[in-house]
Structures are given as structure tokens and as C-alpha cells.
Structure 1
Amino acid sequence: MEPPLLSRILEAALLAADQPLGADRLLALFADAERPTRDEVHAALEALRGDCAQRAIELVEVAGGFRFQVRREFAERVSRLWEERPPRYSRALLETLALIVYRQPITRGEIEDIRGVGVSSSITKTLQEREWIRIVGHREVPGRPAMYGTTRRFLDDFNLKGLDELPTLAELRDLLQINAELPLGDAPDPGGDAAAVRGESPEDESPEDESPEDESPEDESPEDESPEDESPEDESPEDESPEDESGVAPGHNPPNDAGDESGEEPSDVPAPALAGADRG
């Protein structure tokens, strides 16, 4: 078969197909008597790729085979042909997908250990409905939890021929810097551990976080013991001088000043629960 005719047949098949076509499926288009060799098919595909150099479409090879697609610079305008808006995915879903991509095969419990929060069943369900992940086996531990891995559909949708085309972790920014800019995890469920969302252990919680609730400076003054109630009848002029200098009644101990200062710090630094709510 002449190369120009072979290229046109392959072009027609790729334009009509609703999914990428591999070399085996393209070879199946021909009868035994006229079937080209695999090398001839690849040569014809390369010729088609060159013909598309100045066109709005391009011929690309993904994990599932070859396909025509609109060039990226025209994608925004072409997308206006469809009224439906593209789905938006939560950060929790994208983090879960990233862990499956880079750590596969991985179990749901291992994902939760890394992220520090639970993985909702709706997240794995959505990823499976999109055909981006699948169960590839079960971990041989008590309970035999399912292990997840990516699919060929994932590679096709992300324009990849294989996982080796993904950037390595060494090429990404330092993980600590990423955590500082985009803290991992979603807002905790009601009653959940907010410190776990921030990646902190319970031991890391400082007494300052509890001071506004347990003993706030406002609760101790002015009702309980105010400087005005203790002077001037009970105190001598000598006792009033320290009060004028420090602003604390003689019955108070100096360490309470440090407690007042620590009670003001949470107003400048968001509480763990508020930090988690912002991410929700």
C-alpha cells in the first residue's frame, strides 16, 4: 500500500475514534492481503504528525495509543462550545490522587497516615468513577486493605505515555516549603483533632492556646480584685507606690503579668481550629 493512502486511512480512523488507538488496533483495519507492517504504520503516523505542524490540531501518543487533539493554545476558546463547566476538585481529592500516583500501590490507611486526616469514601469513589484509580490488590496484613493504583485512563487524560514522564519528587520543591505555603489536609470534622490537620502532635500544643478559655485576664479583673477596691483605705502610701509603677495590685504576684502577655498572643496567631476552617 502506498504511504499517502496509508496515512489517509489512519487519519480517518483516528478522527472517527472516540479514544486513542494503538498500533494493534490500527493494523486490524486492514485485511491480511494488504496489511502493512508495524514499521510502515509508525512511519505513516510520523508523516501525519508532521502534516499537523501548522494546524490547530496535533497528533499525540498517550498510554492508550495515538489520537488527534486540539492544541493547548486553542483549548480555552474551543471549550466555550460546551455550556457545562468543568468539574472542580477539592484539595483533599488532589492530594489523595497525588499520593496514589507517587506511592502506588498504597492503601487508604497509608494515605491517611501521610495526610494526617481521614480520607472520605466519596474521594476514592469519585476517583474510581473518573477511572483514574483502581484496586490493584490487597495488602497482606490483618484486614487485607485494598491497595490503589492509577489506570491507563489516568495517563490518557493527563497526556502521559507512562508514569516515568511525571516529575520526580527530587525535581519538586522542598516538601517542607510546600507544607508552609499550602498546608496539607482539610478542615477537621466537628469534634476532630484540629492539631492533626496542621501536622502537629498533641504534645506540641502550648499552654497559651488554652489560656483564653481556662483563665483569661478578663475573668480575674475587675470583678474579683480590682486595684481600685483595695486602695486607698487598706493600703498605706508606701504600698501604693509599687502599684503606680507596675499597674498591679499588691495582692497580685508578678508572674501574672507574664500570664497576661501570653493571653494576648492567640489574638495575633490563629487558633488551630481557625486555621483548619480556612482551608475548608
Structure 2
Amino acid sequence: MQPPHSAPPASDPQSDSDSLFDAPPIAEQERMVEAVLFASATPVTLRDLEGRMPHGCNPAAALEHLRKRYEGRGVRVVQVGEAWAMRTAPDLGFLMQKEIVETRKLSRAAIETLAIIAYHQPVTRAEIEEIRGVSVSRGTVDQLLEMEWIRIGRRRMTPGRPVTFVVTPVFLDHFGLESARDLPGLKELRAAGLLENRPPPGSLPMGQGGEDDEEVGDQPELFGD
């Protein structure tokens, strides 16, 4: 007598459902991260990547794989503040010189103000004026805000609750810095002519040093770019 034919085990609908939502292999996730960074005009955060990639992906792990893959290449995966971007290797920057056209210049007043904010952030307008020894015109701060190199930070918990200023990821990205801690040292800035030994307030002859001076300088040179 033939044994009764046994039916194949029923598939578990729960496991089938889970398999439909399995995350892609890490190599595919790496390709996704690469595509997003390559196409993005601005640095991309992990949260942005999580929002774009399929459910279950691990963008942090994929990003680390991608960063290692690009080590020693002409293009690198670099951190800019809390975000990530693809940038030309620093030692190959000379190849891009013909492609870069600098049409915007900063006054020395704006350069000094920007440097003080970068090194002393968060810093108030009064503190900037105290360090520089001259008053800061509104136009100087407005120009830096318009360029998105600085932004308004938290209010200081002092009388009047003045606003503070800090540098932005746009500033860090422009000068190839991961954070403000990577700024050049004081000796380098003095050698570049950025930090001058200004006379103390009140010691200048009448008609000098009262408002922002407008001596013009190229912005990248003074930050060691």
C-alpha cells in the first residue's frame, strides 16, 4: 500500500512578507550613497541618506565602505561638519585652477570679522568690535550672512540678550575644513596678513579707525586656501 502523498509544507506568509522588505546588499547600499553624494550640490547628512534609501539600509556602514574605497583616489569622501560630500583630493587642487573663477572679494573688515567669528564662536558684535578695536558696520555682517559663511547663533544670557554669530558648513566646505578646529594657527594667519597688530582703540589720529576700513583682499588667500 502506497503511503499517502504528503503535501509540501505551507509557506509562512510572515516570512514571505519579511523577505520582500530585506535591505539591499551592502555593496548596493554603497552604490546608492555614492550616487547621492555625486549628484548633490551640497553636503548630505546621514539623516538625508536614511530618508532616501530603502527601509532597513545602513547608510553609515555604506558610507564608511565608500570612504575607504575612495582613499588615495582623485576624489575623496570627506566629512563637512555633520554632513558628507565628494571632493577633489587636496593635492590635485592645482588641476582645477583654470576652472575656478573668483569674482567676489571681501573687504579687509569683512575678512577680519569672519576670522574673529571662526576663532571665537559663538561671539557677539560687541566682542568682535572689542577684538578688532573698531566698530563693525552692519553691511559687513550682512555680506557674510548673505554669503552663508556665518549664521546667527544662540542669544547670550547677558543683559540685552545679544545674538551671537558662528560659521556655517558652507564656510567649512569652501575652505576644505571638517570643523573650525582645523583652522590654521595664528602664526599662519599673521604670515598671510590676516591678523595685524592694530593700535589699541583711541590711539589712532582723528578720522582713522572709527569705522570698518574697506581695503580689499582676495578671500581664499587669507585662509590658506
Q: TM-score, normalised by structure 2?
A: 0.66
Distance 1:182 1:15, change over 3 A: closer
Identity over aligned pairs, percent: 30
Which segments of 5 or more consecutive residues in structure 2 lack a partner in the other structure? 1-23, 216-225
Secondary structure, aligned partner of 1:149 = strand
Change (3 A) 1:119 1:39: closer
Offset at residue 146 of structure 1 (A): 2.5
Match of 1:114 among 117, 131, 137: 131
How far has the Cα of 1:155 moved from its partner?
A: 2.5
Provide the rounded CA distance (Å) in 1 between the counterparts of 2:111 and 2:194: 16
The C-alpha deviation readout for 1:82-136, integer Å capped at 9, x for no partner, is 6x53422222211111111222222212211221111121110011011122222
Q: CA deviation at 1:140?
A: 4.7
**Secondary structure of the structure 1 residue equivalent to 2:57:** coil
Match of 1:94 in 2: 111
| Contact 2:27/2:62 (<8 A) preserved | no
Matched, 1:183 2:200: no
Does residue 1:172 correspond to 2:172, yes or no? no
- Aligned partners of 1:58 and 1:72: how far apart in 2? 9
2:219 aligned residue:
none
Distance in structure 2 (CA, Å) of the matches to 1:3 and 1:48: 13
CA distance in 2, matches of 1:157, 1:143: 34
Superposition pairs of residues 67-86 of structure 1, within 5 angstroms: 67-81=85-99, 84-86=101-103
Aligned to 2:66: 45
Matches within 5 A, 1:175-214: 183-184=196-197, 198-199=199-200, 201-202=202-203
Question: RMSD in angstroms over aligned alpha carbons?
Answer: 3.5
- What SS class does the counterpart of residue 135 from structure 1 fall into? strand
Over alpha carbons, which structure has the higher Rg?
1
**For residues 27-75 of structure 1, what are the alpha-carbon distances to aligned partners after superposition, in whole Å with 9 as ceiling and x for unaligned?**
333322xx3235532342234323xx24x32221211422112233443
Larger RCO (CA under 8 A, 6+ residues apart): 2
Inter-CA distance 47–139: structure 2 relative to 1 (3 Å threshold): closer
- Contact preservation (8 Å) 2:75, 2:89: yes
> CA 1:16–1:38 in structure 2 vs 1: closer, same or farther (change >3 Å)?
closer
In the alignment, structure 1 residue 11 sits paired with structure 2 residue 34: yes
The aligned residue for residue 149 of structure 2 is 132
Q: Label 1:5 to 1:62 Cα distance change in 2 as closer, same or farther (>3 A).
A: same
Structure 2 residue aligned with 1:157? 174
**CA distance in 2: counterparts of 1:88 and 1:115, whole angstroms:** 20
Q: When you count helix as a share of all residues, which structure comes out higher? A: 1
Q: Extract unaligned runs of 5+ from structure 1.
A: 185-196, 206-271
Aligned residue pairs: how many? 187
Change (3 A) 1:129 1:20: same
Distance in 2 (alpha carbons) for counterparts of 1:95 and 1:45: 38
